[in-house]
Structure 1
């Protein structure tokens, strides 16, 4: 362990939050703006951008490799900067691909696949190394607040960038889109470089990594993690909870339109209510976890369980709203869903940091990588399963209410299952400590 590996103060945490904001801003361009441009401005089938977004999630299965690389390296900062640089390059290539597609060139599609490959790899390398750095350098009592700060800053980066880009690309042209996107990518990269400069301090190796770990092979690191029951149970929890979290992404606004008669503007505002609730939930955990038992992974799990059960309750409400139709307090229901989602998400990220760095065995990057890959797969599948589930339900029953209610009920059940997994992990750890204490006695 290096002599200069002091715990991060609030300034360092906020600086790394700027990196998260930069990543969020560029991902927003790739997964939201470019999606709309392909479908609306160029009349492409919606399956094309959806497939590219799914592919960028699939590429993030490489997260454990990037995490292992940063574990073996002497510093994590180069992995963060390199990852964000690759992400920026992918965004620029995606704009070039749009220009080729608009011009009728088939090469544009191949370039788009390559661009989204780089986007997925950049998010995986930069994001995993960033979380691993936070995991080993943030003291337990600050982990919940650090998770809240970095994720709120990421959302802020998305919101600010969306507003600015939306204004600057009017009237739309591919040239204007290229200039604005290039500026966003450049600013995000330079901000990342400035944010991580000197943040790790000076020294020989990163905290928790000795010479033996620096030479450990990837397969050995993964097998060691696979033998950790708590880590693997948490991996399953991440997958189930994030699957539930993302299933309503593609269907909430159509639900508001079909069952409640919301206009496009009104349904977009409803989505804004949900995101506002998420922010409030995140801030609540950041401020309240330290005061109400959130200083350890076990303490944070109480917040996780509460967030999961609150999400399950809100989704159960949406299932009933599907049958009730107009007259149901939909906005309040959606606000509750956002609040519970925000609580669960930040508490889960704080737990990731706690569990990744607690062992002190130099494998924080691998753990973060495995959990990040699990999250990416769940996000990619969740939206797809939710949308397909509603489509199939409407086709099979001819009843919109029943189709939406079924999917929301399944989501609710998944959140309950996630809560049970979190509770089970807590019980298992307590039993393990009891056995160890008995053996020591």
Structure 2
């Protein structure tokens, strides 16, 4: 009997994450730009659609619960990818109709982004649940790093390929490129999940002594009655809120306070993302190096990542006051490094706690935490950008406004570190691994 997923199976699930990231990129990045620059929509329209797709992901717990009750998670992944791809194609088609029939096109965009949110929720939650139930504890940190890095890789490759193929821009070319991305992503998903669960016990099955599978309401009640699960849900929300608040303000900060050109700001953003990848890799390798002490080590990595992120953001607040001459590149690189460390270790801890339910399966728990993450991502960018605008109006200068928001983010990361300190990932294996003899 198999004793959980090996590295090849983990890489295959990472390929699914890459496919999800590639298709999502069409909506959250490419279409965002096209709606504003090519079709003259107010920036709030695509921002609202992106926020809506996060709001739809509040259904993640329901998708996860459904995959717990089902015989396998693979159909939920494939079905979710089909819905995600259909939503992306509807959204792309809606963009191409903005000049001819704007009202109908906006309705099509709203439907498309609804399906995108549902597809990401169904497929993404089931992938993480499969990892939680199929990966041995000593591999969870590395598995989290692998799948997250591959998701970023999928976004980068899809963005670069689509960007190159779109020039010169036309509606027909956009439809063809989007169709190619969706078709490639769906094909990768089919190949990556083919017989992946063969030999594993029934996914999400509760221990026999736990009784019948609970309803969704009973499952949610058990999760929120568990102090560890409730505290971890709050940790996910607070830490991801702090993580997302910097997304929309870091490049404006470098331009307004340090006078950098768009190219220079983009280079620093690339440096931050490079730091994120290094932090993920280091944490994945480090977290897997401490076999037998994984829950403690992951919690330590999470705390260090949050504390380091808070320190880097405090540095940016000082940079806002110091101006040119501050080692900004080093500061932003450190921020990315610590962000990557906390993100991967948090996902690894999530896998440990996902299998800790008495009657609930990994899917519904991953769904609850995915919902908290989606809510934080949806609010984070908005809160950061609006916060800077309000602070600039109140203080009268951008440097003080950015410093204030960076300090608020640092405070959120400190609060997240305290929550991580009080959260202890359960050491027991998931029912699937126990049944497999691990």
- The interval holding the TM-score normalised by the smaller chain is over 0.9
Q: CA deviation at 1:383?
A: 0.5
Provide the secondary structure at the position in 2 that maps to 1:101.
coil
Provide the secondary structure at the position in 2 that maps to 1:44.
coil
Would you say 1:196 and 2:193 are equivalent positions? yes
Q: CA deviation at 1:429?
A: 8.0
Partner residue, 1:289 = 287
Q: Distance in 1 between matches of 2:18 and 2:416?
A: 28
Q: Distance in 1 between matches of 2:292 and 2:379?
A: 30
Partner residue, 1:245 = 243
Partner residue, 1:268 = 266
Q: Distance in 2 between matches of 1:50 and 1:312?
A: 27
Partner residue, 1:38 = 35
Q: Distance in 2 between matches of 1:317 and 1:123?
A: 35
Partner residue, 2:302 = 304
Would you say 1:385 and 2:380 are equivalent positions? no
Would you say 1:29 and 2:20 are equivalent positions? no
Deviations, residues 345-380 of structure 1 (Å, cap 9, x unaligned) = 000000111110244745211110000000000011
Partner residue, 1:186 = 183
Counterparts in 2 of 1:167 and 1:295: CA distance versus 1, 3 Å: farther
Q: CA deviation at 1:174?
A: 1.2
Q: CA deviation at 1:291?
A: 2.0
Partner residue, 1:173 = 170
Identify which of 210, 227, 233 aligns with 1:229. 227
Q: CA deviation at 1:245?
A: 0.4
Question: Bigger shift: 227-236 or 362-371?
Answer: 362-371
Counterparts in 2 of 1:402 and 1:217: CA distance versus 1, 3 Å: same
Partner residue, 1:7 = 4
Would you say 1:337 and 2:335 are equivalent positions? yes
Counterparts in 2 of 1:181 and 1:219: CA distance versus 1, 3 Å: same
Partner residue, 1:328 = 326
Counterparts in 2 of 1:5 and 1:218: CA distance versus 1, 3 Å: farther
Q: CA deviation at 1:204?
A: 7.1
Partner residue, 2:89 = 92
Question: Bigger shift: 203-212 or 12-21?
Answer: 203-212
Superposition RMSD in Å: 1.7
Count residues in correspondence.
426
Structure 1 segments (4+ residues) deviating >3 Å:
207-215, 292-295, 358-362
Q: Distance in 2 between matches of 1:227 and 1:360?
A: 12
Q: Distance in 1 between matches of 2:388 and 2:401?
A: 5
Deviations, residues 45-96 of structure 1 (Å, cap 9, x unaligned) = 0000000000000000000000000000000000011111110001000011
Identify which of 50, 58, 61 aligns with 1:61. 58
Identify which of 44, 49, 53 aligns with 1:52. 49
Q: TM-score, normalised by structure 2?
A: 0.94
Counterparts in 2 of 1:415 and 1:203: CA distance versus 1, 3 Å: closer
Q: TM-score, normalised by structure 1?
A: 0.93
Q: Distance in 2 between matches of 1:171 and 1:214?
A: 58
Q: CA deviation at 1:202?
A: 4.6
Counterparts in 2 of 1:398 and 1:204: CA distance versus 1, 3 Å: closer
Deviations, residues 1-33 of structure 1 (Å, cap 9, x unaligned) = xxx563000010000000000001111111011
Q: Distance in 1 between matches of 2:286 and 2:93?
A: 46
Q: Is the 8 A contact 2:138 2:291 kept in 1?
A: no
Which sections of structure 1, spanning at least 5 residues, go unmatched? 431-441
Partner residue, 2:434 = none
Q: Is the 8 A contact 1:307 1:341 kept in 2?
A: yes
Q: Distance in 1 between matches of 2:200 and 2:297?
A: 33
Identify which of 272, 275, 278 aligns with 2:276. 278
Partner residue, 1:71 = 68
Q: CA deviation at 1:217?
A: 1.1
Partner residue, 1:123 = 120
Which sections of structure 2, spanning at least 5 residues, go unmatched? 428-438
Partner residue, 1:112 = 109
Q: Distance in 1 between matches of 2:99 and 2:290?
A: 55
